[in-house]
Amino acid sequence: MHDIYLTDQYAELNPTWHEEDSPWKAHQIEAIIRKNRLNFDSLCEVGCGTGEILLNLSRSFPKAHFTGYEISPHAYQRAKTKETSRVSFQLSDILEEKDSTFDVVVIADVIEHVEDYISFIKGLRSCGRYKIFHIPLDLSVQSVLRAWPIANLRDNVGHLHYFFKDTALATLRGCGYSVIDYAYTASRLELPNQAFSSTLMRLPRRLLYSIHPDLAVRILGGYSLLVLAE
Domains (range + CATH), the chain: 3-140+148-192+224-229 (3.40.50.150)
Q: What are the angstrom distances between the C-alpha of 122 and each of 2, 88, 111, 116, 162? A: 19, 25, 11, 10, 18
pLDDT, one tens digit per residue, over 106-146 is: 999 999 999 999 999 999 999 999 999 999 999 999 999 99
pLDDT at 202 over 70: yes
Q: Give the span between the Cα atoms of 82 and 20, in whole angstroms.
A: 16
pLDDT, one tens digit per residue, over 35-56 is: 999 999 999 999 999 999 999 9
Q: What are the angstrom distances between the C-alpha of 66 and each of 8, 87, 106, 161? A: 26, 5, 11, 28
Asked if residue 113 lies in contact with residue 71, where contact means CB atoms within 8 angstroms, the answer is no
Please count the CA atoms within 13 angstroms of the CA of 108 that sit on its side-chain side: 29
pLDDT at 4 over 80: no
Q: Give the span between the Cα atoms of 148 and 72, in whole angstroms.
A: 27
**What pTM value is reported for the model?**
0.91
Smallest CA-to-CA distance from 84 within 123, 119, 110, 57 is with 57
Confidence of residue 191 (pLDDT cuts 50, 70, 90): confident
Q: Give the span between the Cα atoms of 196 and 85, in whole angstroms.
A: 41
Q: What percent of the chain has pLDDT over 90?
A: 77
In this structure, the number of other CB atoms found within 10 A of the CB of residue 62 comes to: 7
Q: State the pairing for strand pair 128-136/65-70.
A: unpaired
Backbone angles phi, psi at 41, to 5 degrees: -105, -25
